Amino acid sequence: MKLYLSRDAAAKALGSEEVAEAILSEAAARGIEVSLTRTGSRGMTWLEPLLEVERDGVRHGYGPMTPETVPALFDGTLDGLGPVEAIPFFARQNRLTFARVGLIDPLSLAEYEAHGGLSGLRRALGMRAEHIIDEVKESGLRGRGGAGFPTGIKWDTVRLAPVERKYIVCNADEGDSGTFADRMLIEGDPLSLIEGMVIAGLGTGATQGYVYIRSEYPDAIAVMQEAIDIARANGVLGDVMGSGRRFDMEVRVGAGAYVCGEETSLLNSLEGKRGVVRAKPPLPALEGFLGRPTVVNNVLSLATIPVIFEKGAAHYAGLGLGRSKGTMPIQIAGNVARGGLFETAFGMPLGELVKDVAGGTATGRPVKAVQVGGPLGAYFAPGQFDTPFGYEEFDGAGGLIGHAGIVVFDDSADMLGLARFAMEFCAVESCGKCTPCRIGAVRGVETLDRVAKGDASAVPLLVDLCETMKDGSLCALGGFTPYPVLSALRLFPEEFAAQQEAAE
Amino acid sequence: MPASQTVSPAGVEEIIARHLHREGPLLPILHDLQDHFGCIPAEARPAIAAALNITQAEVHGVISFYHDFREEPAGRHVLKICRSEACQSMGGTALGEAVLTLLGLGWGETSADGRITVEPVYCLGLCACAPAAMVNGKLKGRAEAKALVAEVSA
Ligand SMILES: Cc1cc2nc3c(=O)[nH]c(=O)nc-3n(C[C@H](O)[C@H](O)[C@H](O)COP(=O)(O)O)c2cc1C
Ligand code: FES
């Protein structure tokens, strides 16, 4: 019997290890031979632990599994979900970055290669650096960490810097609430991140890479470390595929500071300093880690590179909407019936994602608001559900897609409380370097407390404060915290006034 | 949780030495010390400063900047509860409050008997199975207050 079960952190958090144990002991008790492959997650979190049973080459799903449902599985009486790849949530995706996640053993180089792995790198090894950069530029790939900066242009700056030692730094700090794609990619297909970083090295002339992973992700840290050892032992790292070109990399672990996801703060942290934000310029591409030219890219940006080289830039650029090319691994989270990871070409309207893909709320109550792009992203109300998922489209609607996390709230959401939380979070996580963020966020909490107590004069003050934070902050932590606050105020003004009536 | 070892100068030196070849060795050193001793022992600071050729004040500045680093060991059990938005949308705030009430502790506090520390965490990447928590390094999705407290009451 050929079985597959995810070892992704979310599956574990929902009991996959207990299920794995029950399967092995039940099989032993029945004298049945099973092979149980541990994979990443297919991204259908509401079905985890999701067990897959291979029959005639097709993987059939069963989930959510519990140890108690294991005997029925072996009896053949357990209701299944049918072929996993035919489940509508999965079937309607276009998986490029996540093509192998959930499919293969993340630490098997042989399975990786059998599913297209390393073909991008082999192609890149035959190209001159400037052609590698051209390929990335032509793909239209933009940074998936939030800012959406064209990846090829960033790489070119590093390539052209006349300095010998250069770096590729992968930003795996993923601190945004509602996001987990970096974690899932690293846990489910770490070799694609390695391959992407090696190609970045070939394109820019960098020979050393670092993956900075947040400490809240112990599973991802362990898998990444193992994957690097495997890649090195098999000649993917070191002397890259015997080409005479060198690239090696190392995992570094964060220490619980949200702001260290900001690229210059991250570089300070890597250097062993306090994670305070650096003023730009100089750009990290020119003076980054230890003052040397450095590419800082998100996990998804780098892990998408191999498939761009495998299928060609035109294939990638042929997908998407306007200047948002290719696909985006969208993370659907919070109060949803079907939460998880959904990779699709840019352009799907927000409402389709929330209603059709996610199936509305988990509680069955009406959707009140959706926060897109993490704690620095704006709230959207159902009236804006026709907004297509794209960088410019969300910007035009007063928001941002950020790292593409969607957090859904039902009608019990307390928007004033959420606005207060945004300010509180900014106060807790501020690096302290600039005043608008450090002091502004504290004042923001106080001002919202006044609003909650019924002080109407505090609302214009709050708006003013938000303007100051937007204009005067050194980075997007202080600069974008006003997005959730002002959008909540704009969409639900009564919640910032109703308190007043109650107090009168 | 790592068993806290008694701090010996030789142990500290050995941990520091393991990382000196790295570019930017301070965070790896601090993580390793904390894994080993359960906190960053005050005795380690002069040794780190000397090895990296920085001041003790700089070492302290770094330790105090990051939420993860402790100057005192945590309780025997560490319970982290996510306070971020996706978890809030699924009752995370109520979960946190219920746990704190059941344990009679505030955020960041350790019980008087040193049994348990409760800490806020801002996202564990389990936002599609919220609310989320971590008990002694083990992740919990769709966490419930009573079950969490039961696990740390042993
Ligand atoms: C407060 C703050 C937190 C951030 N957190 C992250 C993060 O966790 N991961 C990430 O890739 N980018 C994060 N960014 C964006 C980075 O500064 C940077 O734009 C990104 O890593 C560049 O990679 P990309 O071009 O591939 O997106 C953050 C920015 C700010 C202001
Ligand atoms: S918001 Fe709680 S796990 Fe992400």
Indicate whether B2 belongs to any domain.
no
Instruction: Choose one of B19, B39, B65: the last residue of a domain.
Output: B65
| Predicted complex ipTM | 0.96
Identify which has the larger pLDDT, A359 or B2. A359
- Do residues B55 and B103 both lie within one domain? no
Query: Residues B122, B146: one domain?
Result: yes
Encode pLDDT of A179-196 as tens digits: 999 999 999 999 999 999
Inter-chain contact A290–B84, Cβ cutoff 8 Å?
A: no
- Burial bucket for residue A243 (CB in 10 Å: 0-12, 13-18, 19+): middle
Asked whether residue B40 falls in the same domain as residue B82, the answer is no
* Ligand 2 pocket mutation, candidates B80, B82, B129, criterion most atoms within 8 A of CB: B82
Question: Given a cut of 60, is residue B102 above it in pLDDT?
Answer: yes
Mean pLDDT of A395-420: 97
Q: Are residues B124 and B61 in the same domain?
A: no
- Chain A residues with CB-CB distance to B30 below 8 A: 255
How remote is the CA of residue A143 from the centroid of ligand 1, in Å?
9
- Tokens representing A131? 């052609």
> H or E stretch including B80?
strand B77-82
> Do B114 and B51 fall into the same domain?
no
* Ligand 2 atom closest to Cα of residue B85: 1
Work out how many domains chain B is built from and give that number. 2
With respect to residue B3, please indicate whether it lies within any of the assigned structural domains.
Answer: no
Q: Are strands B77-82 and B116-121 parallel, antiparallel or unpaired?
A: parallel
- Comparing C-alpha atoms, which of A416, A468, A401 is closest to residue A438? A468
pLDDT tens column, B120-144: 999 999 999 999 999 999 999 999 9
Helix (H, G, I), strand (E, B) or coil at B89: coil
**B105 found inside a domain:** yes
Residues facing A36 on adjacent strands: A3
Q: CB distance from B66 to chain A under 8 Å?
A: yes
**Domain-embedded: residue B35:** yes
Q: Is the pLDDT of residue A499 over 90?
A: no
**Element counts in chain B: helices (H) and strands (E):** 7, 4
Q: What is the mean pLDDT of residues A371-376?
A: 97
Average pLDDT (A99-105) is 98
- When pLDDT is averaged across residues B82-97 and rounded to a whole number, the result is 98
pLDDT at A360 over 70: yes
Span A129-143, pLDDT tens digits: 999 999 999 999 999
Residue B142 is assigned to a structural domain of this protein: yes
Tell me the pLDDT band of A497, cut-offs 50, 70 and 90: confident
Q: What is the distance between the alpha carbons of residues A415 and A450, in angstroms, rounded to a whole number?
A: 15
In a domain, B71, yes or no: no
Tokens representing A425? 């979070």
Are B81 and B147 contained in the same domain? yes
> Are B97 and B144 within one domain?
yes
Residues B45 and B13 in one domain: yes
Domains in chain A, ordered, with CATH? 2-86 (3.40.30.10), 109-317 (3.40.50.11540), 320-410 (3.10.20.600), 415-503 (1.20.1440.230)
Same domain, B36 and B90: no
CATH assignment at residue B89: 3.40.30.10
- Compute the average pLDDT of residues A81-106: 98
What is the pLDDT at residue B5? 67
Tell me how far apart the alpha carbons of residues A113 and A331 are, in angstroms, rounded to a whole number.
27
Q: What is the mean pLDDT of chain B?
A: 94
Q: Do B27 and B90 share a domain, yes or no?
A: no
Same domain, B50 and B84: no
Do A421 and B88 lie within an 8 Å CB cutoff? yes
- pLDDT exceeds 80 at position A348: yes
| Average pLDDT for chain A | 97
On the question of pLDDT at A503 being above 50, the answer is no
Which residue range is the domain that position B108 belongs to?
77-153
Among A312, A317, A499, which residue's Cα sits nearest to residue A416?
A499
Residues B83 and B57 in one domain: no
Residue A504 — pLDDT band, cuts 50, 70, 90?
very low
Residues with CB under 6 A from ligand 1: A 143-147, 149, 171, 173-175, 259, 261-263, 296-298, 301, 475-477
